[in-house]
Homo-oligomer: A and B are copies of this chain.
Amino acid sequence: MARFANKRSRKAGLPPGSLIHVGEKKAEKTKITIIDYDEQSFQRKEAANVEECFVFKETATCTWINIDGVHDAGIIGRIGECYGIHSLILEDIMTTAQRPKMEDLGNYIYVVLRMLSSEKGGDEVQSEQVSLIVGANFVISFQESASLGDVFDPVRERIRTGKGRMRKMGADYLAYSLIDAIVDNYFIILEKLGERVEVLEEELVTDPGQKTLHDIHTLKREMIYVRKSVWPLREVISGLERAESPLIKEATGIFLRDVYDHTIQVIDTIETYRDMLSGMLDMYLSSVSNRMNQVMKVLTIIATIFIPLTFIAGVYGMNFKHMPELEWRYGYYAIWAVMLTIGITMVVLFRKRKWM
C-alpha cells in the first residue's frame, strides 16, 4: 500500500527547492562512482567524497558520475552547486516519489525514471527512482540505493571493453544506454508477471477458489502499479527525441526511437494483461455463480422429491381412529407404489429440464 502513497506531507510549507529527503532511506551511505572515458582512455574510480567529481567537470572526456543514495542533502547540494543545477531539480532528485518526467533546462536535461524490481519469492513489484542529469559531456545518475543498481552493470562493462559504439558517442548516448537498460529490465518484470497470469489462468480452469480471486486482485494491483511507473515514460522519451536541445545529437535519435518502441511494447503488454485479468475475473465470478447453481439444483432435486413423499408417509402416520386405508390389506404396498410413481415422475421431469 505504502507504494502508492506520496509521503510528501512533511515538505508542505517549506520553500520550493528545499533539499529534504522524502521517501524510505534505502542506502546507509552515499556511494559515488566515477567513470571517465573517451575513445582512447578509460578510468573508473570510487570517490571518497563528492569533491573528487569536480575535477572532471572541465575535462573534454565524457564523465559518468553515479550516485547511490539520495538522502544526503549535503552531497546532493554540493554536486548541484558545482554543476549549476537548479534547486528545484535537486529537490526532485531527493523526493523519491516522482512521476517519470523530462525537463530541458538549457545547459542540461533532467530525466526521472522508475526502476522496477521484484524480489525472489516476493509477490510485490517494487520501484525505485532513477534521476539523470545529462550535460554536454557528463551524465550524473542518482539511484536510491545500490541494491538494484546492477541493471547498469552491462553498460559499465561495455564502456570498459570499449567495444561497439559506446565510447565513440557522447553523453547523450550514455544517457540513452542507461534508459535502455532500465526499459530492458521492464521486460523481465513483465515476463514474471506474465508467468503469474499464466499460472492463474490454469488454476482458474482446474481448481478455482477464494485464493484465485485474491490472486487475480493482487495481480491487478501490480498492473496498476507498474502501469503508473511506465505510462509517463512514453512522453518522456518522445520528449527527449523531439527535444531541440543541442545536447541530444541527431545520431542518437534512432536509438531513442528504438527505446520508445520498447516502451510502447511494455505499455501494450500491460494493457493486454489488464484485459486478460478482467476477463479472468469475469470468468471466476461466473464460475462461482455456476457452482451455486449446481448446489441449488441438488438441493431442489432432493427436496422436491422427498418433501411430498414425507408428507404422504406423515399422513399415514396419523393416529385417527377411522382411517380405512390403514385397514386395507394391500394398503402398504399401494402407498409404496404411489410414492415410487411420484418419485420417478419427478426424476423424469428434472431430466427433461436438464437439471440432472
Q: A289-B288, A317-B317 are in contact. Are A1 and B295 (CB under 8 A)?
A: no
**In the bound complex, do residue A88 and residue B322 qualify as a contact, i.e. CB atoms below 8 Å apart?**
no
A298 at the interface (CB under 8 A from B): yes
A164 at the interface (CB under 8 A from B): yes
Interface residues of A in 1-41 (CB under 8 A from B): 1-2, 4-9, 11-17
Total chain A interface residues with beta-carbon distance under 8 A: 117
Residues on B with C-beta less than 8 A from A314 are: 309-310, 313-314, 317
**In the bound complex, do residue B326 and residue A321 qualify as a contact, i.e. CB atoms below 8 Å apart?**
yes
The A contact surface, by secondary structure, is: helix
A316 at the interface (CB under 8 A from B): yes
Q: A272-B4, A279-B217, A310-B310 are in contact. Are A258 and B16 (CB under 8 A)?
A: yes
**In the bound complex, do residue B191 and residue A290 qualify as a contact, i.e. CB atoms below 8 Å apart?**
no
A261 to B276, CA, bound (A): 29
Cross-chain contact of A313 among B228, B318, B329 (Cβ < 8 A): B318
A293 to B4, CA, bound (A): 33
Residues on B with C-beta less than 8 A from A288 are: 286, 289-290, 293
Min Cβ gap A190→B in Å is 7
Q: A184-B8, A254-B105 are in contact. Are A268 and B331 (CB under 8 A)?
A: no
**In the bound complex, do residue A275 and residue B224 qualify as a contact, i.e. CB atoms below 8 Å apart?**
yes
A148 at the interface (CB under 8 A from B): no
Residues on B with C-beta less than 8 A from A101 are: 261
A99 to B286, CA, bound (A): 33
Cross-chain contact of A191 among B7, B88, B313 (Cβ < 8 A): B7
What 4 pairs across the A-B complex have the smallest Cβ distances?
A313-B314, A13-B154, A316-B318, A12-B184
